[in-house]
Amino acid sequence: MFLALKNHQIFVKMCSWEYIGGMIKETSVGWMLGVDVMARKPASMYRRLKGPAYTRRKFIGGVPNNRILSFHSGNRRAAETGGFSVVLELRADNDCQIRHTALEAARVISNSTIRNEAGAQGYALRIHTYPHHVLRENKQATGAGADRVSQGMRCAFGKNVGTAARVRRGQRVVSLRVNPEHYLTAKDALRKAGMKFPTPTTTRVVRGAEHLKGLV
């Protein structure tokens, strides 16, 4: 029994060190210690549309899974049967690329905002875009002597670091279906979702404007 307890303690220590090592790789401490670090870059590096979309995953290995847990939230059955009289859409004002992490962040904040007011069955939220485009990047050195990583045209393919959705101007990204009494909360939820995207957005009422007298 004593031996089993000691082995369990050793296993816990090993797991904790693996966790700490993983955290070190994802922080600036990893760069200071010489650990291979691929930190998440700012959205400004990926928001512009350049060249054709790179989507053929059967020729690519090691593409990270997207972080979007669900594309539908709330009362989906009521949404499909016309149970909500007001439909709002969040549309992009410019052509851009939206990373999967930004789409998930927008879903989380908008879902929590409307859920607290309308309840679990009082709304229907949907993400309309899917991150098909695979993002790639090469290692970059920073600081003095940064050119030591440059290799010319050799190994120019890059490493798969994530996925993104390609959105055109005026394309809907998120839609929200509610009843008239929850219109203001739904509008605020889409406003918060738009703050997660690398482009200005517009919220439009595409159905049920006649039920919103005095609110619009």
216 falls within a domain: no
Distance, in Å, from the CA atom of 144 to the CA atom of 180, rounded to the nearest integer, reads 59
Distance, in Å, from the CA atom of 1 to the CA atom of 46, rounded to the nearest integer, reads 56
Same domain assignment for residues 179 and 103: yes
pLDDT at 20: 44
Same domain assignment for residues 17 and 79: no
pTM above 0.85, yes or no: no
Same domain assignment for residues 32 and 61: no
Same domain assignment for residues 120 and 159: yes
| pLDDT tens figures, 68-95 | 999 999 999 999 999 999 999 999 999 9
pLDDT at 35: 39
Whether the Cβ atoms of residue 185 and residue 74 lie closer than 8 Å to each other: no
Same domain assignment for residues 160 and 85: yes
Query: How many structural domains compose the chain?
Result: 2
Measured in degrees and rounded to the nearest 5, phi and psi for residue 176 equal -140, 130
pLDDT at 216: 66
Segment-wise mean pLDDT, segments of 10 residues, the chain, 216 residues? 49 46 44 50 87 89 91 96 96 97 97 96 97 87 59 77 95 97 96 96 95 82
Same domain assignment for residues 115 and 102: yes
Closest CA to 91 of 128, 47, 125: 128
Report the Cα–Cα distance between both ends of the chain, in Å, rounded: 71
Same domain assignment for residues 13 and 66: no
Could you tell me the residue range of the domain that residue 162 belongs to?
42-139+148-211
Same domain assignment for residues 22 and 109: no
Distance, in Å, from the CA atom of 17 to the CA atom of 106, rounded to the nearest integer, reads 33
155 falls within a domain: yes
Same domain assignment for residues 111 and 56: yes
- Beta bridge partner(s), residue 176: 88, 125
Same domain assignment for residues 11 and 104: no
Whether the Cβ atoms of residue 176 and residue 189 lie closer than 8 Å to each other: yes
Q: Read off the CATH number of the domain in which 92 is found.
A: 3.90.1170.10
Same domain assignment for residues 162 and 114: yes
169 falls within a domain: yes
Q: Length of the chain in residues, anyone? A: 216
pLDDT at 60: 86
